[in-house]
Structure 1
Amino acid sequence: MINKKINPTWILTLTSLGFFMSMMDSMIVTTASTAIKNDFQISVGTLQWALNAYNITIAAVLLVGVALGEKIGRRKIYNIGILTFTIGSILCALSNNISFLIVARIIQGVGASVMTPMSMAILTNSLPVTERGKALGIWGGIGGLALIVGPSLGGLIVAKLAWQWIFWINVPIGIIAIFLSHKMLPESTGNSDKINPLDSILIIVALAGIIFSLSEMNSPKLNISTIVIGIVSIFVGVWFVLRQKKENSPMVPLNYFQSTTFTGGNIATFLLYAAMYGVVFFLPQFLQVVDGANSLQAGLKILPWTGTLFIVTPFAGKAVDQFGTKLIATLGLILQGTGYLFIMLFVNQQSSYAIMVIPLIIAGAGLSMAGPALQKAVLGSVDPTSLGKASGIYNVFRLLGGAVGTTITVIVFYKFGSTVSAQQFTSGFRSAMLCAAIFSFLGILFSMQFKKGH
């Protein structure tokens, strides 16, 4: 039930703010990593856990947090998420060693795990169907803005102040967001199913283990323990799914997947972000290793790609409302795949950066179109009481897609290239871009399955 007068502007602003904060904090830390490493006198291998702990926690806790939101209130859990995230930010800023920082990042991740799906659910539930595409487009564009300004802002803060300030800036924003969200956002609930503790443990263990193993597979030395954890996590995940089939009130209702739009939308989302995160991993490296850019120049050269997320996404959202999710999602996936394919075909060790600009714009426009279309397709295929769970499942597919895409792209890179020379790096990079294009084109097979009316 909604118990507050709806103000679309405030709803869009406050839900986008939570998404922006969670996205920003995954990006802003990347440019502070060297300063943290030097301050704590730690290795790169140890440092990566200050980065991985946040993302792994988000994936692991997400569905449990969503289940709580559906039961006791989406706005309430959204605000608790922002509060937990803010407390975690304070602890990060106060960290005096890497272990403390990792624990603080886990606390941040617990808060961030519900900020994105609950903001999606609140936004979608509060607005009529005819306005959702536009709103989700703007929401996605603001999240895209975090990708653009995050690394640059982090670098500026570290250069002018200290790395701790990348966390301190979250505190006043978080306090203001909680106050305004409590005042301005409508409360809503989904189903009131009892939350099964065993299911909660199983899904946390399964998702944390799978994301951890995929992250570790990118390391130069693959430990047997990583493989064991991955296999055990998959078995735990299968056990979780089998339990969902038998339960009257499952955490993940498998009947949602009877909808071809819901299933196709989630698989297409998985492939969309598998492609994107593979490119995110290698494109900045290519610009620095082969093109000779420094970190700031590389960030600026990526703008034709990331900038479209902020510019094109709101217009793409309007197009979704007007022409339907099937057409815009499919067109977006085609454009994303085409952009990456063009980079693979045209780029070589001697080519100038200019040849990448138009393909990057094409790929970015495709991502900006497909993102809101797939969101609306997935959320539009369930009833309002199921929006929280649907948004949680969507975000799990998004996170898993990113992890799997990065891992496969890294494997492909080292199969056809290496980091020992610019020529070898170019060879691996082109193979990685082809891999990203294939992911995008595979997504078309699933977006085309959307039912008429979507």
Structure 2
Amino acid sequence: MDKSASAPGEASDSAPPSTVSPAALRWVLPVTILGSSMGFIDGSVVNVALPAMQSSLQSNLATMQWVVNGYMLTLASLILLGGSLGDRYGRRRIFILGLVLFAAASFWCGVAPSAAMLVWARLAQGAGAALLMPTSLAIIGAAYPEPERDRAIGTWAASAGLLTALGPPLGGWLVDVIGWRSIFFINPPIALLALALALKLPADRRPENPKRLDWAGSALAVLTLGLLSYGLVALGDGKATTGVATLAASIVAGVLFVVVESRSKAPMMPLSLFKNPNFSGANAVTVLLYAALSGALFILPFLLVKAHGYSATAAGAALLPFSVIIGLGSRWAGGLSGKLGKRTPLIAGPALAATGFGMLALSGQIENYWIGAFPGLLLSGLGMTISIPPLTAAIFDGTPEDASGTSSGINNAAARGGGLLAVAAIGLAFGGSDLTEIDAASLQSAYAIVMIGAALLALLSAGCAAISISPVRKPS
């Protein structure tokens, strides 16, 4: 699990000394792991269920893109606001609100009578995750004294990584045995347990100097990303005029966002951080690399299920080696970047991931998993593993210590935003074809295009790292 995903929007490094009693402290990790894991699992398990959703709801590709993008849109654009809400109104209070919203939205997803209703429910689910993820880490940061904080955060991140790895095979099994709706119905009981444990935590104290909330910036972030996504989906769906007009509108919204952030007294995205080349470069690498990864992981289950006849369980299990490599290799990769510096792994890792995506592009017609998808997944997983720790370290090297939470949140939003735009653009590879009637050969052709695109994005991220990331850590 990458630290950029593990530290969204909260400056836990600057948390005050713990005032939590030992009796309450024992509940902190179980509560935060349970709560935040729902968001991590949903991010990985839904891709495996997409073919079943598409067949059940008789939906086109554009709608399936929005089932994924609805969640990523609100999560990416609201996660910084979620951290600020926790600072202002109390982390436990906002965490509980996120639990309730996520559970209610999950139930809504499970009972959604149509694909359009499912998309609206996924938007609400992403908003709930945007409250859960930053406040879960902030609760840990505030509860543990500094000597124990890193170990607690490591336990939280490792648990989230393990649960994320188990998500696809477990979700695939549920899809095959019960149906795709069951992957959403498992969330409310987990949320109810987390809620019961969260009430054991000490009540929030009113902050002495609460942060202002950047409502205008948050609204413009949602609008910009939403218009960008809609425009790309429309282009892929063959609606050229609508797509171009919407993309133009997204540029206007993006410019307004930059203007608002430059003038705000409490911006959600302080533009001054981007003056540091390490910070700007690391975020550019993040957008490109996670765009490559998200596009690849969106299309792969469709190929396995619809072209090669895999069950949802088998398709989920096919992704397990990729997740396990990242989960088990992160500590080793962190030590590697400590020896070599940030720049070398951030060139080698994305280049290796690009090689893996290229191998996946060439193996689309091979049904045998071990000589088809597995080698490419192995290399791309190893490349991501090498990339993640130095990418996180480069983010923190590029910012002052008192802005570490904000910089981490921006990086998390960059990762989600890159994935959002990549999935939105996937329709371009299908040339306007509808998934409800596409044949195996056309799907394999689109799959190859997407994987080649992923390989090129990963290579671009390696080039970006070579240009922007300094080989030696700069003193803050």
Q: Please give the TM-score of this superposition, normalised by the length of structure 1.
A: 0.80
Q: Quote how far apart the aligned CAs of 1:141 are.
A: 5.1
Q: Quote how far apart the aligned CAs of 1:194 are.
A: 2.1
Matched with 1:233 is 250
Alignment match of 2:299 (pick from 271, 282, 306)? 282
- Distance in 2 of aligned mates of 1:61 and 1:41: 31
Q: Alpha carbons of 1:405 and 1:81: their partners in 2 closer, same or farther (altered >3 Å)?
A: same
Q: Quote how far apart the aligned CAs of 1:171 are.
A: 1.6
Q: Give yes or no for the alignment of 1:434 onto 2:452.
A: no
Give the counterpart letter for 2:210 in structure 1: S
- My pick for the range that moved more, 204-213 or 371-380, is 371-380
Matches within 5 A, 1:17-166: 17-33=34-50, 45-46=62-63, 49-98=66-115, 100-121=117-138, 132=150, 142-166=159-183
Alignment match of 1:261 (pick from 278, 287, 292)? 278
Matched with 1:4 is 19
Helix, strand or coil at the partner of 1:221: coil
Q: Quote how far apart the aligned CAs of 1:308 are.
A: 1.1
Q: Quote how far apart the aligned CAs of 1:398 are.
A: 0.5
- Distance in 1 of aligned mates of 2:141 and 2:67: 33
| Structure 1, unpaired ranges of 5+ | none
Aligned CA RMSD, in angstroms, stands at: 4.1
Helix, strand or coil at the partner of 2:238: coil
Q: Alpha carbons of 1:342 and 1:246: their partners in 2 closer, same or farther (altered >3 Å)?
A: same
Matched with 1:212 is 230
- Distance in 1 of aligned mates of 2:177 and 2:267: 50
Higher RCO (CA 8 Å, separation ≥ 6 residues): 2
Matched with 2:13 is none
Residue-pair matches, total: 449
- Distance in 2 of aligned mates of 1:323 and 1:6: 41
Are the counterparts in 1 of residues 45 and 168 from structure 2 also a CA contact under 8 Å? yes
Are the counterparts in 1 of residues 82 and 134 from structure 2 also a CA contact under 8 Å? no
- My pick for the range that moved more, 437-446 or 8-17, is 8-17
Q: Give yes or no for the alignment of 1:203 onto 2:224.
A: no
Give the counterpart letter for 2:19 in structure 1: K
Are the counterparts in 1 of residues 47 and 301 from structure 2 also a CA contact under 8 Å? no
Q: Give yes or no for the alignment of 1:302 onto 2:319.
A: yes
Q: Give yes or no for the alignment of 1:271 onto 2:288.
A: yes
Q: Quote how far apart the aligned CAs of 1:41 are.
A: 6.6
Are the counterparts in 2 of residues 275 and 405 from structure 1 also a CA contact under 8 Å? yes
Alignment match of 1:312 (pick from 329, 334, 347)? 329
Are the counterparts in 2 of residues 264 and 449 from structure 1 also a CA contact under 8 Å? no
- Distance in 2 of aligned mates of 1:387 and 1:69: 16
Q: Quote how far apart the aligned CAs of 1:85 are.
A: 0.8
Matched with 1:194 is 212
Are the counterparts in 2 of residues 137 and 318 from structure 1 also a CA contact under 8 Å? no
Are the counterparts in 1 of residues 353 and 383 from structure 2 also a CA contact under 8 Å? yes
> 1:228-247: per-residue Cα shift (whole Å, max 9, x none)?
22221221121121122223
Helix, strand or coil at the partner of 1:312: helix
- Distance in 2 of aligned mates of 1:383 and 1:289: 49
Q: Quote how far apart the aligned CAs of 1:21 are.
A: 0.9
- My pick for the range that moved more, 258-267 or 41-50, is 41-50
Q: Alpha carbons of 1:395 and 1:406: their partners in 2 closer, same or farther (altered >3 Å)?
A: same
- Distance in 2 of aligned mates of 1:135 and 1:405: 33
- Distance in 2 of aligned mates of 1:270 and 1:190: 36
Q: Quote how far apart the aligned CAs of 1:108 are.
A: 1.6
Give the counterpart letter for 1:432 in structure 2: G
Q: Quote how far apart the aligned CAs of 1:325 are.
A: 4.6
Q: Please give the TM-score of this superposition, normalised by the length of structure 2.
A: 0.77
> 1:394-415: per-residue Cα shift (whole Å, max 9, x none)?
1221122113344567657869
- My pick for the range that moved more, 382-391 or 33-42, is 33-42
Matched with 1:449 is 470
Are the counterparts in 2 of residues 278 and 406 from structure 1 also a CA contact under 8 Å? yes
- Distance in 1 of aligned mates of 2:332 and 2:197: 27
Matched with 1:177 is 194
Give the counterpart letter for 1:210 in structure 2: L
Are the counterparts in 1 of residues 73 and 417 from structure 2 also a CA contact under 8 Å? no
- Distance in 2 of aligned mates of 1:53 and 1:193: 28
Matched with 1:374 is 391
Are the counterparts in 1 of residues 173 and 313 from structure 2 also a CA contact under 8 Å? no
Identical amino acids, percent of aligned pairs = 28
Are the counterparts in 2 of residues 271 and 401 from structure 1 also a CA contact under 8 Å? yes
- Distance in 2 of aligned mates of 1:374 and 1:54: 24
- Distance in 1 of aligned mates of 2:120 and 2:170: 24
Helix, strand or coil at the partner of 1:392: helix
- My pick for the range that moved more, 353-362 or 85-94, is 353-362
- Distance in 1 of aligned mates of 2:411 and 2:40: 16
Are the counterparts in 2 of residues 59 and 208 from structure 1 also a CA contact under 8 Å? no
> 1:96-128: per-residue Cα shift (whole Å, max 9, x none)?
455554443332221112333344555567675
- Distance in 2 of aligned mates of 1:15 and 1:81: 12
Q: Quote how far apart the aligned CAs of 1:326 are.
A: 4.7
